[in-house]
Amino acid sequence: MEEFKRFLEKKASKTSVRRFGQYIAWEEEEVIPRGPTEFLDMYYLNARPGEVVIMDSSVARDLEERLKFLESEIQKLKTHNDILKAIIVGLCVVVITLVLKLIGV
Amino acid sequence: MVSYKNEIRKLEEKIKERFVGNEKAVHIAILDLLHPRSTILIRAPRGLGKSTLMLLMLRGIFGDDFVVVSGASEVKRGEVVGRLHIPSLEKEGIEKVLWAAFVRKEGKGLDEVNRLNPYTAANIYHMLQFGEVWAYGQRYKVKDYVLIANENPYDPTTFIHPPPFYDRFDVVLYLRSLTLSEKFRLQSLLDKYGDSLIESMEQVLTFDDLCEIRREVSEIELDVELRGTINLLVRDLQACIRNRDSSVVKPLILCEGCHFIRDVCSSVKTGPSERSTIVLSQLAKAKVWLDGKCDMEDVINFGKWVLPHRVELTKVKVIQEDIAEILEREKMKMREREMRRQWFMLNELYKKFDRELYRRVKEMALEDLVLAEELTKLETEWVKKGVISVEEALFSYLK
């Protein structure tokens, strides 16, 4: 732990900052943006994305179609989900009614 | 000290006079010799000079006084470790072991390691791991040595040795084929030396000289910043917020939905062992001793030789190139860390809690897993002291 603190201190001593009482100030260096990244490289090759990610029209179209397909799938599943919920509620009502009848309320 | 340095430089020079191309690999091999029990693995397809490089290095240090065991022959335990002395057993009923030259000699060569049968490989593994060998219930402590091995991993008769076996090799040198101009140089060399290229290699230093050099190198103290770079490089490749090491599911499936999916950690299936930290430090010390300096760039470049046989990547095309790409990303990441002043801010937080600094470091930690690990340690203490609440802590978010 002591060695790690020494490492941090050494790094800190090399960092240019100005202290004004309890305040610390520094000038942010301009970060040069990385060049544009091809979307497919980013997606399939795990390339680190730059500030700008580019894709050609066919990739964009493909992506759009996939999104539409996924949205329609979600919609379908949501409908299934709603039906199943209604069935569960209905079954609950039936079970409760049967239980009450059996008890003789 | 100067004369020792000159001897090492002369050794490198004499090897390069007889070995064409792959200059960087030769230099790394020279640096790796400068620490005790050095182990070098040379990997290349057939005919690229694996055995030649191994023999040139061994001859340069030991003259003719070294042993090479070939995995290609049916090598048995008796030839590698030791055999029973039959007359002692017959006459006196004593089990006396005759230790093999391979374990007794300081200069050891292993030709075609991939063809060693698993039983022999296990004996060698034990020697590399514990510095001793066992035969017939008796132990032999192995002294300091130089072990140079080679293999052609594309050889169809390859035995697949376990990863811990390869982890015992400090560096792996991948040799490339010669360029057109280099082929002309090789032809000239063969015309000059004929069949005695290896025999022409003179003994440049003695093993005692090398031991003294190793002692001097071990006394070198590395700068804390350089040690930090070594530790950061290894940690970046080891760290996984989803605890990859003990998870049954491996990346990339494990990485699905992970906050750090775009980080270097998602490219690594099995991270490097702590042995890589030791080897990187030893190489850095050797470079300081021989060249007078070693910087961050050098340390990261050492990764090209220290990491390929120690890490398993999620996608492999050409391992050396994949590792080189990861190391380039590491260089960029380390520069970004400097620019963001994250170590400075973490240092300030170690001294005293400051909410604004904490907020900034927390933001940075969302892009840097290693920083996140260190910050969460501090957060645990702050939560205990009531300085921050559990909900606002980074570890709550990253869970």
Residue range of the domain that includes A47: 2-103
Residue B29 is which amino acid? A
CA distance B373 to chain A (A): 13
Write down the pTM of the prediction. 0.82
Q: Give the DSSP letter string of B78-98.
A: HHHTEEE-HHHHHHH----EE
Report the CATH number of the B222-337 domain.
Answer: 1.10.8
Q: A 33-92 residues with CB below 8 A of B?
A: 45-46, 48-49
**Domain ranges in chain B?**
2-218, 222-337, 341-399
Question: For residues B29 and B290, what is the distance between their CA atoms, to the nearest angstrom?
Answer: 13
Q: Block means of pLDDT (10 residues each) for chain B, length 399 residues?
A: 87 95 95 97 94 96 94 79 89 90 95 89 92 92 96 84 94 95 93 89 95 96 95 93 81 80 84 95 97 94 96 90 93 89 92 91 89 92 91 80
DSSP state of B71: T
Question: For residues B49 and B185, what is the distance between their CA atoms, to the nearest angstrom?
Answer: 14
Residues of A in contact with B348 (CB under 8 A): 12, 24
What domain count does chain A have?
Answer: 1
Q: Say if residues B345 and B357 touch (Cβ distance below 8 Å).
A: yes
Q: Say if residues B358 and B351 touch (Cβ distance below 8 Å).
A: no
Nearest CA-CA partner of B40 in B308, B305, B320, B307: B305
Flag whether residue A1 sits within 8 Å of chain B, measured between CB atoms: no
pLDDT tens for each residue of B196-219: 899 999 999 999 999 999 999 999
Query: What ipTM does this complex have?
Result: 0.82
Radius of gyration of chain B (CA): 25
Residues of B in contact with A44 (CB under 8 A): none
CA distance B173 to chain A (A): 26
Instruction: Determine, for residues B266 and A46 on separate chains, whether the beta-carbon distance falls below 8 Å.
Output: yes
pLDDT for residue B399 = 62
Flag whether residue A23 sits within 8 Å of chain B, measured between CB atoms: no
Question: For residues A56 and A50, what is the distance between their CA atoms, to the nearest angstrom?
Answer: 16
pLDDT for residue B37 = 96
* CB atoms closer than 10 angstroms to residue A23: 8
* CB atoms closer than 10 angstroms to residue A13: 9
Confidence of residue A57 (pLDDT cuts 50, 70, 90): confident
Report the CATH number of the B2-218 domain.
Answer: 3.40.50.300
User: Between the CA of residue A79 and those of A27, A68, A91, B12, B212, what are the distances in Å?
Assistant: 55, 16, 18, 74, 79
Q: Say if residues B280 and B303 touch (Cβ distance below 8 Å).
A: yes
Instruction: Determine, for residues A6 and B224 on separate chains, whether the beta-carbon distance falls below 8 Å.
Output: yes
Nearest CA in chain B to A48: B262
Contact residues for B296 (Cβ-Cβ < 8 A; gap 6+):
B225, B226, B229, B331, B334
CA distance A31 to chain B (A): 8
Q: Give the DSSP letter string of B90-121.
A: HHH----EEE-HHHHSSEEEEE-GGGS-HHHH
Burial class (CB in 10 A: 0-12, 13-18, 19+), B15: buried
